[in-house]
Every structure is written in structure tokens, then in C-alpha cells.
RNA sequence: GCACCCAUAGCUCAGCUGGAUAGAGCAACGGUUUUCUAAACCGUCGGUCUCAGGUUCGAAUCCUGAUGGGUGUACCA
């Protein structure tokens, strides 16, 4: 609608001798109950037009109608200038969009973005919180790619540390050599099982010590199991062969398990980083910071940065014994990533409980004068709440990712079989369909909500398949495909109509927004805007479909046009849902 | 204590840089199929946008304060 803004500027210039810029003009979609396509808000102009809003709107409307061929008419209601754009304009838009390959996706802009997501710990299986993270990360990467960037998806695996040693120790003590093969358990679940066992045994020891009269925190520190796992961590750091072997073996089980989950979830990565390789990084940055006077050393020789001037606290960046803390290695890893890829932007998909950490991390890198620090972005998403409250691994109130996927697919199966539309499907086709629908429902449910907000998830109340859902969009796609299949011959490519009706125009307008939606979603790292757009589009199509016969048309040209319009809609639904990691079925 | 985030219909959520009578879905109730897939379409019901001030021609949106909820504030990650 750029041309309307330009002409409005011209109108204001000629009529009121006032020079404005594009940002002074507010355009909005005309509300459904009024006639028109776009509305110019003229209230701000009354200051220098020295006339009432109604008169001002009237004058500008006249000017636009006289000077812009695409503007067919206008009306003024309560000071709002509603502009009616000629159908020929929309027919033209449609013509352009329909003939653009990959309509909506931007050509390469030569810039590179890294998206880090998933980043699991290797001591337990993935749960619902990870699912949100993975779906968000994958989707954001897809969207950024569609907006013209080259995208590198990375996974920074937390494969070392005390939590891993706990699982290892428990397995050593209580595992009797159990393996994924011998137990039939998925590797990550097997390791997670021992993490839970550790916790249980550890608590027993704490209770015993308390019974002997120790205080709670003393007991926690003195329990043999915790001491042993700390020793194990130390041995790991020294490179003790037996410990390293055990660590490698158990991690390999976990990776095999994660890969299954990632596959089922439909996510993937271009580059893995492992903390076992990066945890020592960052120490030269500490030196650099000390030299530059950004950091300072305390008498006990620990290193700090003073961020009080920025409204934050003093923050430790290196322990007094010279070892790294979390932020030390994150500083190092940030630099490593940049050295590896020289990307223009880098997105961290991490929960909002780490807001403070990333604020500090980015601020430090900026203070160190890293030019690329400005391109760092923390995509901070809200936690997932269950009806019972928040998820806690230790209390067993987590929703396991693998179980969840199975349940979704099973629910999809029941639901679909009840409808009885797939009786002629082969067994393989059915499995494929149930998977698409089950995952579509789950993914849409999680992605339609603004990432920044907390998300309420009720596992018992199985996710809907009707209304504002993934399957609704999938169904719309399948419906279109069905019509196209039935049209048999029809070569509708390149068909452009002479005239269009109201439903057709609305659909064309909806489709026309697709590129803007993608650009906007990429800029804001927000899959929810794509999700909500696709729902509106599907809804609009269903209305069109309901009220406008496609194949049952005497008029051959009209039939072809509607087929073509349907086909473009299907294409947008297909590629749009792919940005959410959702697949669409040809039949359902 | 201090910092940050959130609050919209019974429930789950939209609401773009301030703009018209605040929108969807679910739930509830009613209607639509001899016609291209009824996982659809149409209608009814449902709101003091947590509260109180302020800025403005105009505030769900911006500012201040209060209340309620969440998170962080480790020589943990």
C-alpha cells in the first residue's frame, strides 16, 4: 500500500502545504462493516488543515480519487477515510503473485544468521519444555531462511558436568551392566532412569545423616554419593580413562535416543557444539578484558565485571581458583561460533529464566568491543505450565516428549478413524497421515502462542482438532487438493479473470499479505504470527469454498480461475505450514 | 530487599508504530449436507481489557502507582 502513503503525502502537501514523511501516515485495514480496503487516519492532519476530521478526510479522499487510478472510490465515516481500491488492482496483484515462484519467500539477501536451539543436558530425556524450545528454534530458522537469510542451525549440547556424573555413578552402582539393548529402553530414558535413582538414593543418605544429627545443608554436602560424583567429575576433568569410557558409552546411548526424538519431531541441526569441547574456552577473553580494563581482579584473585552503572550487579566471570563459570565459557563459545561462521546475527533460543544471564553476556561482549555483539539476540520464551503447576523433573511431573508424541499420534488415529474417511487408505498411508495430523495439532498448538508468553498445556484435555488448530489448516489444504484432483484435465496455469467477486477479492487480499507476514515474523522471531495468519487464510478459504462453486461452473474461465486461486492458496498453506515444521496431507 | 516479565470473554489465545462499536477458537445453545471432503459453513450467548491516577482530539496499547502471579538475583548450569 506504499502508493497510498505516497499519494496521501502529496495530498497533504498540495492541500495544506505541509510536508510529512511516511511514518506520519497511519494506514489500517478497513473494518469489515464498512466499505473499503484501506483506511487513512486523518485526525493528525486536522492540526494544520484547520478543518474538522470529516472535511479533511473528504478533501484528501477527493484528491486521491482524482490522482490515483487504482482508487475507485472513498467514503468518510466519523473522520475515517475509507478507500476503495479498484478490483483491477487486486487482479493485478493476484496475477503477479500467482506467477511468482516460491511466492512469499524472499530471495537471498546475502546475510547469515545462526540459530542455536534445543541445547539439552545429556542426563535425562527431553520433555515438553524442550519440545517448545525445539519447535520454536526450528520454526524461527525456517522463517528466517524464507526471509532471505542463510541460516545455520546449531545445537550446543551440555554433555559434561556434575549432573552427568550423577547418572554415571548411579548406573555404576545400581545398574548391573544394564544397556539399552538388554533393557529394551531408549538410551536417553535409560540414562534418565539412573539420574532418578541417584536422586532417590542421595535423599536416603541425606535422611540417614540427618537422623544422626546433621543439619540439612551439612547432610547434603556430606552424603557419600554427592562426594563420589564430585570425585568422578574431577577424574573426568583429569581425563581418567575408565571414567571417560563410561561417559562416552552413556552419552552415546543418550545421543541415539535424542536422534530418535529429533527425527520424530522433525527438527535437525547443521552444526553441533559440545560443552566438553568448549568448557575451557573463554579464559583468554578474561585476559583480554583485564588488559582492556573491562574486568577487575579481587584480592582473592577472582575476576569480576562491575555492571552497576548499567543497572545490574557486579558479576563474577572467573573463579578465584582460576576455573570457569557458566558465563566464562559462554563468552568463549560466542567467539568460537563467530570465528567459525562470521554470521551477521546470532539467535539463542533459551527460556526466560536466563534473561539476566544473556543480558549480562551480551553487555560484556559489547563492552569488550566485539563488533558482532550487536547481532546477538536472546529469543526468550516462557515456560510451559501444566494444570498442576510447573513441571519438575525430580517430582516426576514432567510430560515426556516421546510419550507426548505417541499420544498425539494415537489421538489423531482415533479421531480420524471415527470420521471414517480413510477406509481405503493402505496401512502405511494411515500411519503417515496420523503422524502428520498428530504432530500438526501439537506443533500448531505450541507455536500459535507468542513465544514470550507462558503457555498452558493440559495433557489430559487432548489437543483440539477443530477450530483454530493445525488440523483445520491441514484439512483446508487437503480439501483444495481434492478439488484439483477432481478437475482432472483443467489447465488453469496463468488464468487471469476479468472481474472478481467479494469472496475472491478477500482471498486475493489475504494471499497478498504472505510476504509481509514472513518478513515481519523473521524480524520479530515470531512463528505465532505465521501461525495466526495461516489460520485466517484457511478460514477465508473455507468461506470462499462454501459459497462459491468451483467445478460446478458453466463458465469454463471462471472455473479455471477459481481452481488457480485455490491452487495458490494451497501453495501458501503448504509452504506456510512448512515454516512451522508442519506437513500437510494430500487427503484426510 | 533489588531487577525483569506477565494480567484481555467461563477456558485457551489474537489485537501491528496509540485510532472507529475490543476479535478468534473451545465450551453452551440453534441452524446448514439429493450439490466440489460437515476436521467445514452460518447464527445466538458471553467483556468495567486486574485496579487507580496521568498524557492525548482519541488509551487494551504510552507514563506513574497499587494488587495478583511468575522468574532471576550462586565462586550452579
Is A450 near strand B, with its CB below 7 A from some atom of it?
yes
In what helix (H) or strand (E) does residue A333 lie, and over which residues does it extend? Answer: helix A326-341
The H-or-E segment that residue A315 falls in is strand A314-318
Is A308 inside a domain boundary?
Answer: no
Mean of pLDDT values over A254-269: 97
Q: Is residue A430 pLDDT above 90, yes or no?
A: yes
Residue A299 approaches strand B within 7 Å at CB: no
Q: For residue A51, what is the domain's CATH number?
A: 3.30.1360.70
Same domain flag for A411 and A543 = yes
- Mean pLDDT to the nearest integer, A107-135: 95
Stretch A239-249: mean pLDDT: 96
Task: Tell me what the pLDDT averaged over chain A comes to.
Answer: 93
pLDDT at residue A266 greater than cutoff 90: yes
Give the mean model confidence (pLDDT) for residues A368-394: 87
What mean pLDDT comes out for the span A558-584?
A: 96
Say yes or no: A452 and A543 in one domain.
yes
Q: Is the ipTM of this complex over 0.90?
A: yes
Q: Is residue A474 part of a domain?
A: yes
Please report the pLDDT score of residue A1 as a whole number.
77
First to last CA, chain A: 38
Give how far Cα A507 sits from Cα of A349, A485, A500, A502, A566, Å: 34, 21, 10, 9, 9
- Whether residues A78 and A193 share a domain: the answer is no
For residue A577, say whether its CB is under 7 Å from any atom of strand B: no
Q: Which of residues 368-427 of A touch strand B (CB under 7 A)?
A: 382-383, 390, 412, 415-416, 419, 421-422
Structural domains counted in chain A: 3
**How far apart (Å, rounded) are the C-alpha atoms in residues A336 and A342?**
10
The reply to whether A62 and A180 lie within a common domain is no
Q: How many CA atoms lie within 13 A of A340 on its CB side?
A: 15
Strand B at less than 7 A from CB of A325: yes
Q: Which helix (H) or strand (E) holds A72?
A: strand A71-77
Q: For A288-336, how does the pLDDT look when each residue is reduced to its tens digit (9 = 90+)?
A: 999 999 999 999 999 999 998 888 889 999 999 988 899 999 999 999 9
Which bases along strand B come within 7 Å of a protein CB atom? 3-7, 11-17, 19-21, 24-27, 35-42, 57-58, 70-77
Per-residue CB contacts under 7 A with strand B, chain A residues 115-134:
121
Same domain, A65 and A196: no
Q: Over pLDDT 90: what percentage of chain A?
A: 82
Residues A459 and A564 in one domain: yes
* Greatest Cα-to-Cα distance within chain A, rounded to the nearest angstrom: 93
- Give residue-wise pLDDT tens across range A478-505: 999 999 999 876 788 888 899 999 999 9
CATH number at residue A416: 1.10.730.10
Q: With respect to residue A349, please indicate whether it lies within any of the assigned structural domains.
A: no
DSSP letter string over A281-311?
TTHHHHHHHHHHTSSEE-TTS-EEEE-GGGT
pLDDT confidence tier of residue A389, bands split at 50, 70 and 90? confident
Could you tell me if A551 and A409 lie in one domain?
yes
Q: Is the pLDDT confidence value at A395 over 70?
A: no
The reply to whether A375 falls in a domain is no
Q: What's the pLDDT band for A393 if we cut at 50, 70, 90?
A: low
Is the CB atom of residue A73 positioned under 7 angstroms from any atom of strand B? no
Please state, in angstroms and rounded to a whole number, the distance separating the CA atoms of residues A443 and A455: 13
> Is A154 domain-assigned?
no
Say if residue A423 is in the same domain as residue A509.
yes
Among A586, A570, A559, which Cα is nearest to A492's?
A: A559
Does one domain contain both A57 and A201?
A: no
Q: At what angle do helices A556-578 and A527-547 cross, to 10 degrees?
A: 160
Name the nucleotide with the smallest C1'–CA separation from A316.
B75
Q: Are residues A183 and A36 in the same domain?
A: no
Domain membership flag for residue A586:
no
Task: Tell me the nt nearest to A540, Cα to C1'.
Answer: B41
Which neighbouring-strand residues pair with A400? A127
- Least Cα distance to A530 among A540, A545, A515 occurs for A515
CA A166 to chain centre: 32
- Structural domain span for residue A412: 403-578
- Domain end point (choices A245, A273, A301): A273
Which of A273, A306, A325 marks a domain boundary? A273
pLDDT, greater one: A136 or A214: A136
Q: pLDDT at residue A390 above 80?
A: no
Domain end marker among A40, A69, A85:
A85
Asked if the structure places residue A252 within a domain, the reply is yes
Of the candidate ranges A7-21, A251-265, A440-454, the one whose mean pLDDT is the lowest: A7-21
Residues A449 and A541 in one domain: yes
Residue A105 lies in a domain: no
Amino acid at each position: 500500500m506504499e502508493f497510498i502513503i505516497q499519494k496521501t503525502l502529496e495530498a497533504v502537501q498540495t492541500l495544506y502545504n505541509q510536508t510529512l514523511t511516511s511514518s506520519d501516515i497511519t494506514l489500517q485495514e478497513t473494518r469489515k462493516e464498512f466499505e473499503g480496503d484501506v483506511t487513512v487516519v486523518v485526525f493528525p492532519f486536522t492540526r494544520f488543515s484547520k478543518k474538522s476530521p470529516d472535511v479533511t478526510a473528504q478533501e484528501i479522499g477527493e484528491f486521491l480519487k482524482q490522482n490515483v487510478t487504482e482508487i475507485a472510490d472513498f467514503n468518510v465515516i466519523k473522520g475515517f477515510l475509507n478507500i476503495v481500491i479498484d478490483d483491477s488492482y487486486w487482479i493485478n496483484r493476484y496475477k503477479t503473485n500467482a506467477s511468482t515462484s516460491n511466492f512469499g519467500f524472499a530471495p537471498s539477501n546475502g546475510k547469515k544468521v545462526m540459530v542455536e536451539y534445543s541445547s539439552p543436558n545429556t542426563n535425562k530425556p527431553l520433555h515438553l519444555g524442550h519440545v517448545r524450545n525445539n519447535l520454536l528454534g526450528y520454526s524461527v530458522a525456517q522463517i528466517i531462511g524464507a526471509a532471505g537469510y542463510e541460516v545455520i542451525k546449531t545445537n550446543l549440547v551440555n554433555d559434561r558436568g556434575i549432573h552427568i556424573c550423577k547418572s554415571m555413578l548411579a548406573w555404576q552402582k545400581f545398574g548391573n551392566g544394564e544397556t539399552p539393548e538388554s533393557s529394551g529402553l531408549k538410551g536417553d530414558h535409560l540414562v534418565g532412569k539412573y539420574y532418578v535413582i541417584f536422586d532417590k538414593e542421595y535423599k536416603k543418605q541425606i535422611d540417614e545423616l540427618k537422623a544422626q544429627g546433621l543439619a540439612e545443608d551439612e547432610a547434603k554436602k556430606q552424603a557419600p554419593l554427592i562426594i563420589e560424583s564430585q570425585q568422578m567429575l574431577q577424574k573426568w576433568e583429569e581425563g581418567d580413562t575408565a571414567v571417560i569410557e563410561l561417559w562416552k558409552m552413556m552419552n552415546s546411548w543418550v545421543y541415539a535416543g535424542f536422534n530418535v526424538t529429533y527425527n520424530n519431531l522433525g527438527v535437525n541441526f547443521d552444526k553441533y557444539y559440545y560443552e566438553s569441547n568448549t568448557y575451557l574456552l573463554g579464559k583468554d577473553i578474561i585476559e583480554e578484558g583485564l588488559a582492556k580494563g573491562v574486568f577487575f581482579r579481587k584480592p582473592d584473585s577472582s575476576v569480576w565485571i562491575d555492571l552497576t552503572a548499567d543497572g545490574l550487579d557486579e558479576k563474577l566471570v572467573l573463579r578465584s581458583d582460576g576455573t570457569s563459570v557458566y558465563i566464562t565459557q559462554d563468552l568463549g563459545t560466542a567467539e568460537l561460533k563467530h570465528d567459525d561462521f562470521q554470521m551477521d546475527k546470532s539467535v539463542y533460543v533459551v527460556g526466560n529464566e536466563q534473561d539476566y544471564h544473556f543480558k549480562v553476556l551480551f553487555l560484556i561482549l559489547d563492552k569488550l568491543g566485539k563488533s558482532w555483539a550487536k547481532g546477538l539476540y536472546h529469543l526468550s520464551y516462557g515456560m510451559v505450565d501444566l494444570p498442576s503447576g510447573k513441571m519438575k523433573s525430580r517430582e516426576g511431573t514432567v510430560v515426556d516428549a516421546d510419550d507426548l508424541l505417541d499420544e498425539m499420534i494415537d489421538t489423531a488415529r482415533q479421531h480420524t478413524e471415527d470420521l471414517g474417511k480413510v477406509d481405503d487408505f493402505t496401512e502405511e498411508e494411515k500411519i503417515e497421515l496420523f503422524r502428520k495430523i498428530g504432530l500438526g495439532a501439537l506443533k500448531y498448538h505450541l507455536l500459535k502462542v507468542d513465544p514470550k508468553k507462558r503457555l498452558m498445556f493440559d495433557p489430559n484435555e487432548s489437543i483440539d482438532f477443530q477450530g483454530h488448530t493445525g488440523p483445520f489448516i491441514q484439512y483446508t489444504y487437503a480439501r483444495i487438493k481434492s478439488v484439483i484432483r477432481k478437475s482432472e484435465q483443467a489447465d488453469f496455469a496463468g488464468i487471469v479473470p476479468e472481474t472478481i467477486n467479494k469472496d475472491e477479492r478477500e482471498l486475493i487480499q489475504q494471499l497478498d499479505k504472505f510476504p509481509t507476514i514472513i518478513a515481519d515474523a523473521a524480524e520479530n522471531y515470531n512463528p505465532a504470527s505465521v501461525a495466526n495468519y495461516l489460520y485466517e487464510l484457511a478460514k477465508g478459504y473455507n468461506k470462499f469454498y462454501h459459497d462459491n462453486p468451483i467445478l460446478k461452473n458453466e463458465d469454463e474461465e471462471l472455473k479455471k480461475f477459481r481452481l488457480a486461486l485455490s491452487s495458490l492458496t494451497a501453495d501458501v498453506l503448504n509452504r506456510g505450514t512448512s515454516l512451522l515444521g508442519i506437513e500437510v496431507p494430500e487427503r484426510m
